[in-house]
Structure 1
Amino acid sequence: MQNPHSRHAQQVLTLAQGKAQASGPAADPSIARSWLRCLEDYHLDPALPVAPTVLEHGRMLECRERMQQVLEIASGEMNNLYRQLSGAGHAVLLTDARGVILNCVTAHAERPTFERAGLWLGADWSESSEGTNGIGTCVVERQALTIHQDEHFRSRHTGLTCSASPVFDPQGDLMAVLDVSSARHDMSRQSQFHTMALVNLSAKMIESCYFLRRFEGEWLLRFHLQAEYVGLFSEGLLAFDGEGRIRAVNQSAINLLGCFREQLLGQPVEAF
């Protein structure tokens, strides 16, 4: 009888042979795209049982130092998110823009379980290293997503369910990824809808807090179509210089104003 890992690897390789899949993980176009990137661009082997690459301690400390302000802001939100999940079997992770894990919040007793799965501090979970996964595929797609069990590319990761959301800086560049991973085998994809909503909300909170910290003491405009939403994560944020020209803008402001970021930056704030 074929073991599950071999069966999963064969399913991935079937896609490489140009055979469209009407059912299974690759029926989802975003999963199929990612699997093909793994095969054609990164030349990964889905059956290879090697654990993720982990940065040397010194290099990880350098990464954490570069991300110090983000880590400080995210720490409280990660702990709050972990409490909201209110159940065993979860790890809340923050990575840099490459997909390297820089912080992890989980129960002490469960840490060995996640480390066996490769979720170590300093582990590189970029898609080019680990194939389709919540963190790495979020980095590539730049949008919130869930990768559930056999939607992962590597057979060794099919026990994981990961919901990840990007965290952008005030210039719109990817700054970090916030992820919730579970190693529970009874985790259904439907159960992740609530988790994904919480992860996405927490990522937006980190973005807003970072924006306010980054431009602390400078000119800021905080606005919303409904006044009661000012001060919440959905508020629009504009930072502008002493001459009243827009320096930075968050995604909510872009949505509220109906403009592209490039149309706003450098323009006089009174024009909007």
Structure 2
Amino acid sequence: MQKHGLTPDEHRAPERLEQSALNQRRAAVEQFLSVAAPRLDALFALVGLSGFAVLLTDSDGVVLDQRISDADTAAFESWGLCAGANWSEEREGTNGIGTCLTERRRVIIHQGDHFLSRNTDMSCIDAPIYGADGAIIGALDVSSARADQTEAFNRLISAQVAQTARAIEEANFRSTYTPARIIAAGTDSDAATLLAVDGNDLVVGATRAARALFGMAGTGPLTARPAADLLGRDDERTGFERAERAAVMRALARAGGNVSQAARQLGVGRATLYRRMKRLGLAET
């Protein structure tokens, strides 16, 4: 009421973007929508028969994609739970999508928890999704307007929503850093904890949770850092020695342990490779 000038008894229709404006927003996050689509399908397959809609928004709370059964489409569209609708807190007050994005956390906004009285028949369950740059990219929403919806059931659905949001975040990150090697940190966080490591063993990307875990910048491009420095796998060798050892080990692995063949791959003589192997502490295989 104070910040956005809203009143609970407003009965205006939810704001909905023109198709051209919606298409522009979708085009701006095309990769995100592409990797999310099969995961939205899987989530809808679990909850759709119970009268739920599955919605995916951008960081402004505008619905970009939806999964709604044909029988429920008209009802959800009349409530504004459809593609192009703006569910920001600025526009709708407390609601699943807008509050999730504002507070950057999982939320359940059950019926009377909504600010606008016209939304109090709904139950909305949401989880934020962070992009490959660590910034929030959107929200995953599962909504229902069933009168018999219970808070206990909402909590069960919330766990599945969080799991799906994490899967979308992971898939989007992997897609962004396709050429890189992806390392997953073993944490129990709801968020994906992934590092992208390039061919030079430099960390060039990290999810929001990984950035927090390893003390990196919260959002934006990263300054490349050696993976060994972050993961605590350093040893007494210099950087050049580690690189040389890794190159020799890769050549030996490709050659199935055949030193002569590995030497040819590396462009050195067999005797030279033996000397390097001895210096690097590599036994003949």
TMscore range, shorter length: 0.7 to 0.9
Maintained 8 Å contact 2:96/2:125: yes
- Letter of the structure 1 residue corresponding to residue 184 of structure 2: F
The 4+ residue runs of structure 1 with deviation greater than 6 A are none
2:38 is aligned to: 76
2: CA distance, partners of 1:112 / 1:225: 44
Which 10-residue stretch deviates more, 194-203 or 86-95? 86-95
State TM-score, norm by structure 2: 0.74
1:104 is aligned to: 66
Maintained 8 Å contact 2:211/2:217: no
Give unpaired runs (5+ residues) of structure 1. Answer: 1-38
Higher RCO, 1 or 2 (CA under 8 Å, sep at least 6)?
Answer: 1
1: CA distance, partners of 2:184 / 2:9: 51
Q: Percent identity?
A: 33
CA shift for structure 1 position 86:
5.6
Q: Secondary structure at the match of 1:64?
A: helix
2:241 is aligned to: none
Maintained 8 Å contact 1:245/1:265: no
Give unpaired runs (5+ residues) of structure 2. Answer: 231-285
Q: Find the partner of 2:103 among 122, 133, 141.
A: 141
Q: 1:89 to 1:40 in 2, by over 3 A?
A: same
Alignment pair present for 1:158 and 2:113: no
- Letter of the structure 2 residue corresponding to residue 88 of structure 1: S
2: CA distance, partners of 1:72 / 1:139: 21
Q: Aligned runs of 1:1-272 on 2, under 5 Å?
A: 39-85=1-47, 87-217=49-179, 219-225=180-186, 236-241=193-198, 243-254=200-211, 258-262=213-217, 265-266=222-223, 267-272=225-230
Maintained 8 Å contact 1:222/1:235: no
- Give the number of the structure whose alpha-carbon radius of gyration is greater: 2
CA shift for structure 1 position 100:
0.4
1:86-132 C-alpha deviation (Å, 9 max, x unpaired): 63310000011100011110111100110111112101100000110
Which 10-residue stretch deviates more, 81-90 or 261-270? 261-270
Maintained 8 Å contact 1:165/1:178: yes
1:21 is aligned to: none
- Letter of the structure 2 residue corresponding to residue 170 of structure 1: A
Q: 1:112 to 1:235 in 2, by over 3 A?
A: closer
Maintained 8 Å contact 1:220/1:237: no
1: CA distance, partners of 2:142 / 2:83: 14
CA shift for structure 1 position 241:
4.5
Q: Secondary structure at the match of 2:2?
A: helix
Maintained 8 Å contact 1:55/1:122: yes
